[in-house]
Amino acid sequence: MQNKITVTELKDRIRFLEMKSKEDFADLKEEFHEAYESLRPINLLKNTFRAATHSSELKSNLVDSAIGMSTGLLSQKLFMGSSHNPVKRIIGGLVRFGITNFVSTHPGPIKAIAQNLILKILKRDPSKSPQKAY
């Protein structure tokens, strides 16, 4: 036995499918617009920068590298001073490279020492420091 479909049922079904098609097309158009906006160069840069600034691992790596570079530079200045001797300058550069590399790969102890120094400096009671007599 075949199901008999009336003309009104067919018209209703056609109207329903047409409305669904229009809704699907509007959704597709909106998704295309969102994809287009996200692929614009300025938005790519914004999203990349946002992701980079929210990454705690990247921040930690930057801090570790900055600590390593600053301790390397400080050690080179302490070792070399303001010497113009080429041999001493080469040795100073090697010392700087070695210390920078070591501190960048093992930043934990350096961070702990720096934190302790900062805490000692900040917690120092100014009333207990020796007074200068003028």
Is 134 part of any domain? no
Query: What pLDDT was estimated at residue 80?
Result: 76
Query: What pLDDT was estimated at residue 10?
Result: 93
Both 62 and 101 in a single domain? yes
Q: CB count, 10 Å around CB of 130?
A: 5
Number of helical (H) and strand (E) elements in the chain, helices listed first = 5, 0
Both 28 and 60 in a single domain? no
- The amino acid at 10: L
Query: What pLDDT was estimated at residue 130?
Result: 56
Q: What is the extent of the structural domain holding 116?
A: 56-122
Is 115 part of any domain? yes
Write out residues in the chain with pLDDT < 50, as ranges: 134
Both 32 and 89 in a single domain? no
Is 130 part of any domain? no
For 53, the 3-state DSSP assignment is: helix
Write the pLDDT tens digit of every residue in 67-94. Answer: 778 877 887 788 777 778 888 888 888 8
Query: What pLDDT was estimated at residue 115?
Result: 80
Query: What pLDDT was estimated at residue 126?
Result: 55
The pTM of the full predicted model, rounded to 2 decimals, is 0.43
Domain count, the chain: 2
Query: What pLDDT was estimated at residue 118?
Result: 81
Query: What pLDDT was estimated at residue 132?
Result: 52
The DSSP H or E segment spanning 68 is helix 56-80
Both 70 and 108 in a single domain? yes
Is 131 part of any domain? no
Query: What pLDDT was estimated at residue 134?
Result: 46
Is 48 part of any domain? no
Are the CB atoms for 110 and 103 separated by under 8 Å?
yes
Q: Which residues contact 37 (CB under 8 A, 6 or more apart)?
A: 43
101/72 Cα distance (integer angstroms): 8
Is 65 part of any domain? yes
